Structure 1
Amino acid sequence: MKKYNLLAFILLASLFIGCEDKEKDKTGWFLLSTTDNKAQFTSDETATLSITNTKNKTVDSIVFFSNDQKIGAVKGVSPFKYVLAEEKLGYLNLKATIYFEKETAESTHRIELVSNIEPKLLKYTLVNTYPHDIKAYTQGLEFHRDTLYEGTGNGAGNSTGIKGVSSLRKTNYKTGEVYKIVSYPETIFGEGITILNNKVYQLSWQNLVGFIYDADTFKEIKRFDYAKRIEGWGLCNDGQKLYQSDGTEKIYTLNAETQQIEGHINVYSGANKIKAVNELEWIDGKIYGNIYQKDAIAIINPKNGAVESVIYLGDLKKLVTQHPDIDVLNGIAYNPKTKTLFVTGKNWDKLFEIRVEE
């Protein structure tokens, strides 16, 4: 008899606990929404964040977060005005923490922030044409003290039948002469380069490793592992930080000393993500980026990721010697002395100097 009483007690206790847990499940008590339930906003808008109190609880306050960063708080269930002007483009994961009757609950929502800028199409003038190594599968291009540095990938071969190998080069851009070169084994696929504090940083594609060299001697200073399992594509710097593309719409910000990721932007043209951002160059506070397979350069605001202008360079490819292994436009180098751009492509036999105009 006692055993039956004990069993009944356990069943009743379990039922009571189950009911209590269900009562404490606050899912649906508070619903976070935005202005007219909009899913997409532009940078010049303000999103009104509101809480629907489905259980009519007495709410003390609400704290709002965007991508885990606190953006403000209100008393009671008052709406919150979220000004979007300073936010980076892309998805914003919103969260509200509601404080009520000595308890708390959370509600989440997601919106997408897109660009309100219509990119301008810029014109260019062809200033000069120089020779370029047809075997160079160009991945990175940059001037340093009047000398052109180039990073190349393995490539797929060329019309001579000679497969290229990845390299880092110091060249005479006027003649195409290679002053100094570091070649990689076939297992390393070289990618973008940038030069900061007289050090050359070079990425690899899928090897998850980067290289740092002395810009004068090409002596290897360090190898570094990527902080995330991403591909290495383009690289540039603003004089302090590094910016790395990975073949998506993302451009990562890296600490130059530790090579650790400190943030990222998402590249948008209007409401569209621009993927396959490739070789990068920092010019007058903007990021110039080749868009893979598009024969165009996007000029990107590094603060929020908005494409502000575009340079279409498809006509230059017609001026290059046509051969079976010619590939896409890639390579942007800015010469601050002449204020001109130097551009080329993968397995192109020419390097072009252009002047960009409004």
Structure 2
Amino acid sequence: MRKHNALITILLALTIVGCGDTLKDKENYFSINETVLKPKYKSTDQVNLEVVNNKNKTIDSIVYFMNNEKINTTKGNGKFSFGLKGKKLGYQNLKALIYFGGDTISSNKRIELVADNAPVLLNYDIVNTYDHDVDAFTEGFEFYRDTLIESTGQNGKSYLAKIDYKTGKTYKKVALEQQYFGEGITVINDKIYQLTWQNATGFIYNANTLKKIKSFIYDKKVEGWGMTNDGTFIYHSDGTEKIWKMDPETQKLIDYVNVYTNDSKIKSVNELEWIDGKIYGNIWQKDAIAVINPETGAVESVLDLSALRSKVTNKEAEVLNGIAYNKKTKTIFVTGKNWNKTFEIRVKN
């Protein structure tokens, strides 16, 4: 009886194999031809798509997608080219749905869209040097009228303060609760918006009195890093290459750009400042500022501020982090975490 059952099992297995290739086998029939793809593209480039037919099967049609949006249909094993103008910088997910003999197989590839041009190195002059509180773990830095507003981090030590930038002295301060690690700030419509790092919570204050108006919860699973605004929308970095656009009325994150040079994405975008239509962003662990196009995320120029480090005398000084633009003087105030100096600089064209 056991021999009889074993024979039936073998016969069934042979029958299944004889019926045709499995789905896993069929997935190897076709693939997007990666030999005609480049690892990095610019917006002016054309992407060439075609499918490799590994088993010489008769293809009825192919439907091509990018980022889950249909972009073209070809009859048979048709080739297809398309442009990238207006697409968001970053990774683009390509998919081909291949229809053949009553079956459908998909093939996926990924390409990367980078900025069109290399960033330009900017020069600057130091206009003034001021004292800065060496205990301030600076996370946000912004002028409101003639007053410098500063937000600091570290659990149990975070606060929001109004600063006399000429002396570095604090004349009004609001401490955050122990569990919050303070992050970036921005002032819009006479309100200060403040992020926290990993608490998924932000705060809104009256810009004149520093009285807290409300708190809000991030509507996406992101960290809070830097903030700035263009007078209408808030821009919020999250420690990755993304800069989010926020509606200040609803605090909803409604869109984003990916920050890229012509070579690669720029991770860890930190403190932000809006200056003449561009976003100036500190890059964590770099003593440099990237000047970013807010519409595309492309890094158009770079300020190398590493020379300022030699002028900071306290040994505990950490990374550059703090950009505040004074519209009256058209100068930029920069500092860092636990720096004992703030530098007023003027960028040279």
**Match in the other structure for 1:195:** 187
Deviation at 1:205? 1.8
Moved over 6 A (4+): 10-15
Deviation at 1:269? 2.9
**Match in the other structure for 1:306:** 298
* 2:283 matches 1:283: no
* Partner secondary structure for residue 269 of structure 1: coil
Deviation at 1:331? 0.5
> RMSD in angstroms over aligned alpha carbons?
3.0
Q: Counterparts of 1:109-124 in structure 2 under 5 Å? A: 109-124=109-124
**Match in the other structure for 2:208:** 216
* 2:333 matches 1:345: no
* Partner secondary structure for residue 315 of structure 1: helix
**Distance in 1 (alpha carbons) for counterparts of 2:164 and 2:19:** 77
2:239 alignment partner AA: G
User: Would the aligned equivalents of 1:88 and 1:303 in 2 still touch at CA under 8 Å?
Assistant: no
**Distance in 2 (alpha carbons) for counterparts of 1:74 and 1:140:** 52
**Match in the other structure for 2:131:** 131
- Stretches of structure 2 lacking an aligned partner (at least 5 in a row): none
Alignment counterpart, residue 317 of structure 1, candidates 302, 309, 317: 309
Change (3 A) 1:54 1:317: closer
Deviations 1:89-135 (A, max 9, x none): 32221112234455433211112223342221101122233333232
Task: Pick which of 125-134 and 338-347 moved more.
Answer: 125-134
* 2:25 matches 1:33: no
**Match in the other structure for 2:217:** 225
* Partner secondary structure for residue 318 of structure 1: helix
**Match in the other structure for 2:327:** 336
* 2:230 matches 1:238: yes
**Distance in 2 (alpha carbons) for counterparts of 1:58 and 1:330:** 60
**Distance in 1 (alpha carbons) for counterparts of 2:233 and 2:21:** 50
Change (3 A) 1:42 1:354: same
Deviation at 1:356? 0.7
User: Would the aligned equivalents of 1:34 and 1:47 in 2 still touch at CA under 8 Å?
Assistant: no
* Partner secondary structure for residue 50 of structure 2: strand
* 2:164 matches 1:172: yes
**Match in the other structure for 1:355:** 346
* Partner secondary structure for residue 268 of structure 1: coil
**Distance in 1 (alpha carbons) for counterparts of 2:253 and 2:20:** 41
**Match in the other structure for 1:158:** none
**Match in the other structure for 1:150:** 150
**Distance in 1 (alpha carbons) for counterparts of 2:230 and 2:327:** 14
Deviation at 1:284? 2.5
**Distance in 1 (alpha carbons) for counterparts of 2:232 and 2:34:** 38
**Distance in 2 (alpha carbons) for counterparts of 1:77 and 1:334:** 56
**Distance in 2 (alpha carbons) for counterparts of 1:269 and 1:350:** 30
**Distance in 2 (alpha carbons) for counterparts of 1:256 and 1:109:** 37
1:288 alignment partner AA: Y
Change (3 A) 1:60 1:220: farther
Deviation at 1:152? 1.0
User: Would the aligned equivalents of 1:35 and 1:47 in 2 still touch at CA under 8 Å?
Assistant: no
**Match in the other structure for 2:262:** 270
Alignment counterpart, residue 289 of structure 2, candidates 285, 291, 297: 297
**Distance in 1 (alpha carbons) for counterparts of 2:45 and 2:270:** 30
User: Would the aligned equivalents of 1:290 and 1:331 in 2 still touch at CA under 8 Å?
Assistant: yes
Q: Counterparts of 1:56-67 in structure 2 under 5 Å? A: 56-67=56-67
**Distance in 2 (alpha carbons) for counterparts of 1:35 and 1:82:** 17
User: Would the aligned equivalents of 1:114 and 1:271 in 2 still touch at CA under 8 Å?
Assistant: yes
Provide the aligned length of Structure 1 versus Structure 2: 345
* Partner secondary structure for residue 272 of structure 1: coil
Task: Pick which of 227-236 and 309-318 moved more.
Answer: 227-236
Task: Pick which of 11-20 and 168-177 moved more.
Answer: 11-20
Deviations 1:292-313 (A, max 9, x none): 2221111122333322211111
**Distance in 1 (alpha carbons) for counterparts of 2:277 and 2:189:** 18
Deviation at 1:201? 1.5
Change (3 A) 1:16 1:218: farther
Change (3 A) 1:166 1:23: closer
Q: What's the TM-score, normalizing by structure 1?
A: 0.83
Deviation at 1:16? 5.8
The alignment-based identity, stated in percent, is 54
Alignment counterpart, residue 241 of structure 2, candidates 249, 252, 258: 249
**Match in the other structure for 1:107:** 107
**Distance in 2 (alpha carbons) for counterparts of 1:305 and 1:288:** 11
